[in-house]
Amino acid sequence: MPNIKPLGPQASELKKHVATVHVSGELSLLERKIVNVLLLNAFDDLLTKKRHTLPVGIFCTMLGFDSKNHDALKRALLKVMSTPISFDLLHDGGKTDWEASPLIAYASIKNGLCSYEYSDWLAGKLANPDIYTLININVQRQFSGGYALALYENCLRFKRTGSTGWIPVETWRRLLGADASMYDEFKHFSAEVIKKAVKEINQVSNIVVSPEYKREARRVVQIRFLVEDNPQKSMYDNEDEEQKSIRESDAFKRLTRLGVGDRLAISWIQQEPDRALQTAIYVEERAKSKQIRGNAGGYARTVFEKAARIEVGPGNGQTESVPTLPAVAEADTSAEERSRRTTARIKSMTLAEKQKFAGEYMAEGGKGNTYQPETGTFKNALERTAYTSWLRAKVADGQ
């Protein structure tokens, strides 16, 4: 995990750094992921080392690239190397400072090890820690459409401000890489790019974005996105993910209440979650019955570090068993886990169930024009999509 270094002195520098992820659409999704994964891997050593390395296997896992076809990877790397990235989009004050560099200056794959270098200029730029918040591997792996990732990158930097500010539709097209002719008409740009990307971001990322349109007469001329934290996903924001969930756990609260330090409590729970909780409960009991003189936290430490086992049970008047961590984990189920369960639940539905849900869907106002009773599904792609999101919400509620 990268050490977070102090922020650079000038805010203007910061903005340029953040703009480094403005890859204006020339890169495919895989190529963007490569850029971000390599940067993440190199982050700590950007200023101290010229050449960075990463085992190909780990590289592929981080990319969510499960093919053994390393040629595709090499091609993508080549593409990244040959694609210049410009930095001046969205520059403040209308100034048009323009700087560009290929994102990777050198790359090799030898003996299962991928090595690569950044240009000195770029390494200096990328070393700013704020960019780290932009590169969220969890998110990279979950976006299926390139537009969602592009929009995510362009919105995340405004999380603190709360809004991207008004930006002309044309600029958005360039920023999101949606300059194909079919998106000339706003309605298509809106339906295919904006709506889908917004939906995907709100479902899987750590922010919630909502578009607002400014019109001239009837025509939409500018768009801004309001950017908020996604409370359900903010725990995935950065490397604190694991620590945050530990901090919310029962064991952590109990241990700190007893006077165990935060860091110590976290490390115990990381090492042996079950015994950490047992220790807390055991010490609480002893403290309640005044069997501990003085420092309960210190006693807890002795118990955890010295005593391998804590005997609780019949014989000393106590008959209730100590709750173990699984109960805690249950309550602490992440959004990701819930989503997986929803998917599994839907997959395991019988035909009768599918038909029942589809019926409910149509009763609640779903159109159902292309409903196929024999399979309990919808023929039309859009209808299917609408129904699927309805169904997911329904199933998730019922869990």
Partner DNA sequence: CAGTCTGCTTCCTTGATATT
Partner DNA sequence: AATATCAAGGAAGCAGACTG
Question: Can you give the binding site for DNA, defined by CB under 7 A?
Answer: 144-145, 180-182, 185-188, 190-192, 213, 215, 217-220, 367, 369-370, 375, 377, 380-384
56/49 Cα distance (integer angstroms): 19
- Measured from the CB of residue 216, what is the shortest distance to DNA in angstroms? 9
CA angle 58, 64, 68 (to 5 degrees): 70
**Distance of closest approach, residue 85 Cβ to DNA, in angstroms:** 23
> How many Cβ atoms sit within 10 Å of the Cβ of residue 255?
29
Q: Measuring CA to CA, how many Å separate 361 from each of 30, 348, 387? A: 36, 19, 7
Minimum distance, C-beta of residue 29 to DNA, in the bound complex (Å): 10
Tokens representing residue 275 in the block: 């015994």
Structure tokens at 122: 């770029």
Residue 144 beta carbon to DNA: minimum distance, rounded to whole angstroms: 6
Within 8 A by CB and 6+ apart from 355, the residues are 373, 376
Taking the complex as a whole, the smallest distance from the CB of residue 380 to DNA amounts, in Å, to 5
Nearer to DNA among residue 18 and residue 201 (C-beta): 201
Alpha-carbon span 215 to 116, nearest angstrom: 47
- Pick the closer one to DNA by CB: 119 or 202: 202
Specify the residue, 130 or 186, whose C-beta has the smaller distance to DNA: 186
- Rounded to whole angstroms, the Cα distance separating 268 from 297 reads 13
Cβ of 337: how many Cβ atoms within 10 Å?
11
- Residues linked to residue 225 through DSSP beta bridges, in sequence order: 211
Smaller CB distance to DNA: residue 211 or 273?
A: 211
Is residue 379 a contact partner of residue 372, using CB atoms and an 8 Å limit?
yes
Q: Which is nearer to DNA, 1 or 180 (CB)?
A: 180
Number of helices (H) and strands (E), helices first, in the chain? 20, 10
Residue 335: both structure tokens together: 């959004």
Q: Which is nearer to DNA, 226 or 303 (CB)?
A: 226
In the complex, least distance from residue 214 CB atom to DNA, rounded to whole angstroms: 11
Closer CB to DNA, 141 or 188, in the complex? 188
CB of 190 to DNA, least distance (A): 4
